[in-house]
Amino acid sequence: MNKLDLLNMAFRNLRRRKSRTILTFLSVSIGTVSIIVMISLGIGIEKSQMDFINSSGGMYAITVRENYGEEGKAEKKINKSTKSELMKINHVSNAFAQKFLPVQLTVDGKNNYNVWSNLTVIDDDALRFLSDKVGEGKALEKNQKNVLLFGKSTTIYKQDDEIGQSNRMVPVDKEEIPKLNYVLELGYDYDDPSIEKSSKPSQVKIKMRYVGTHSKDSKFPQDGIYTNETTYKYILEKDKTIANPMFSNGQTNNNDYKFDSIMVLVDDVDNIEDVETAIRDLGYSTESAKSWANEMKNQFLIVQLVFGAIGSVAFIVSAIGIINTMTMAIYERIKEIGVMKVIGASVKDIRNMFLLESGLIGMIGGIIGLLLSIVISNTINFLINQQPEIQASGEFVSVSLIPFWLLLLGVSFSFLVGVLAGYIPARRATRLSAIDSLRSD
C-alpha cells in the first residue's frame, strides 16, 4: 500500500466513528491548550518584566557600592579616588558619584498625587555627560538650586477619580509632569503630645523645580529623579534646621561630603558581566540591571517548566484517550484486519495505518487546540488591558505571549503524542491472526 492509500484509509476510518473521534479530538485539544497557554503565560510575564527593565534604562549601568566585608572580603570604601580607579577598567566609558536620598517628594496642592521614585544626587562630572541626553526641557546645570531631572520612565501616580475606586492609583499623563509643582519634605509633620516640643520645626518643605526629562537613548537609569550637588548642599543646610535631622552625618565643608555609590557606564551591554567581575575583583559590591535580568531569566525558566509540567498532565490524559479510541477501533475492525492480511497487506502496512490514524487524531486535535489557545491568549490580554492603570499608561501589556515556535511545538508535540499513544494498539493489530480475525464475530 502506498502512502496516499494509507492516508485515504485513515481519514475514512476516522469519519466512520465521528462521535468517538470528535471526543478524542476534544481531549487532545484541551491538552494542547493547557500546555500552550501555560507556557505562553510564563513567556508573556517574562517579556513584560524584561521590557520594564529595558524601558527603565540602566542596562549600560553598574552601581558600585562599598563592601562591608560581604562574601569574606575585606572592607572596601568609596572615596574620591574610586572613580579614577574604576575608569582604568576596560570597556568603562564613564563613572559618576551618586547618592540616594531617602526623602519624600510630593506635588504641591495635590494631596492625591504620589511620587514613587528615588531622588538621586549626581556629581558635577555627570552634568557634562547629561547635557546632550535630554529629550524634553533642559539639562541640569552646576549652579542651579532646587532642580529636578526626570528619567524617561519615571511615573507619577494619582488616586483614581472613578466612583468607588478612591484607593486605586493610576499614572498621570506624561504631558502633565512638567507642569506640576514639586515639594521635597524633610522630617515629619507630627502632632504627638507625648513628644517633647522643640524650638526647631519638625518638618521643612523645599519647593523644587522640574527642568527636563532624559532622552530615551540616555544610558542613565530611566526610572529615577536626579538633582545636582548644589541642590544637595542646600538640602543638607535645611536639614540642620529641623528638630530631628535626616542627614546628621552630611557635610558641606570644602565639597567634602560623602557619596554612597558610583555609577559606572559600560560601552556595550555585552561587556557588563566582564566589567562587573573586574569591579568585584577590586573588592567592591556591585549591582546592575543586566545581572538582575539574568537572574530573572533563570527564575522564569523554572516558572515556564512548572507551567509546562502542569499543562503536560492534560496531555497525558489525552494520550490515554487516544489509546482507548484506537483499542476500541481494533476490536471493531478485527475482521477487516483479517481481510487485509489475506489480500496481501503487510504487517508494516497495518501498523502504519493505525499509527497514521492516531497521529492524525493528535495533529488535528493539536491544530484545534492551537486555534483555541490563540483565542484564549488574546482574551486574557484584552481583559488585562482593560484595567485603568494599564489604560492610563497608554501601553499594551501582553501577559500571554505565543511565539511562532510555541505554535509549531504544540502541534508537533500533539502529533507525536498521538503516534506514541497509537503504538501499543497498532502493535496489537499486527499480531492478530488472519484466520482468527476472519472467524470472529
Residue 299: the pLDDT is 77
In the chain, the amino acid numbered 111 is: N
Is the pLDDT at 158 greater than 80? The verdict is yes
Spatial distance between the Cα atoms of 89 and 275, rounded to a whole number of angstroms: 7
State the pLDDT confidence band at 73, using cuts at 50, 70 and 90. low
For the stretch 257-296, pLDDT in tens is 468 888 888 888 788 888 988 998 888 888 887 777 777 7
**Averaging pLDDT over each range in 30-44, 187-201, 305-319, which range is the top one?**
30-44
175-210 exposure pattern, b = at least 16 Cβ within 10 A, e = fewer:
eebeebebbbebbeeeeeeeeeeeeeebebbbebeb
Report, in angstroms and rounded to the nearest whole number, the Rg of the chain calculated over CA atoms.
33
For the stretch 199-223, pLDDT in tens is 788 888 999 999 988 776 666 777 7
Q: Which residues are within 8 A (CB) of 317 and not within 5 positions of it... i.e. 6 or more apart?
A: 27, 31
Spatial distance between the Cα atoms of 358 and 149, rounded to a whole number of angstroms: 64
Residue 376: the pLDDT is 93
Q: Kindly tell me the sign of the dihedral angle through the C-alpha atoms of 348, 351, 353, 357.
A: negative
Task: Give the three cell numbers for residue 100.
Answer: 540616594
Is the pLDDT at 95 greater than 90? The verdict is no
206 phi and psi angles, rounded to 5 deg: -115, 125
202 phi and psi angles, rounded to 5 deg: -80, -20
Residue 325: the pLDDT is 83
Residue 165: the pLDDT is 54
Residue 367: the pLDDT is 92
Is the pLDDT at 371 greater than 90? The verdict is yes
217 phi and psi angles, rounded to 5 deg: -95, 5
Spatial distance between the Cα atoms of 43 and 25, rounded to a whole number of angstroms: 27
> 285-288 and 182-187 as β-strands: parallel, antiparallel, unpaired?
unpaired
- DSSP-assigned states of every residue in 162-182: STT-TT-EEEPPGGGGGGSPE
Q: What is the mean pLDDT of the chain?
A: 80
In the chain, the amino acid numbered 139 is: A
Q: Kindly tell me the sign of the dihedral angle through the C-alpha atoms of 266, 48, 291, 114.
A: positive
The angle formed by the CA atoms of residues 212, 250 and 207, to the nearest 5 degrees, is: 35
Q: Hey, which residues does 149 pair with through a beta bridge?
A: 212, 226
Is the pLDDT at 439 greater than 60? The verdict is yes
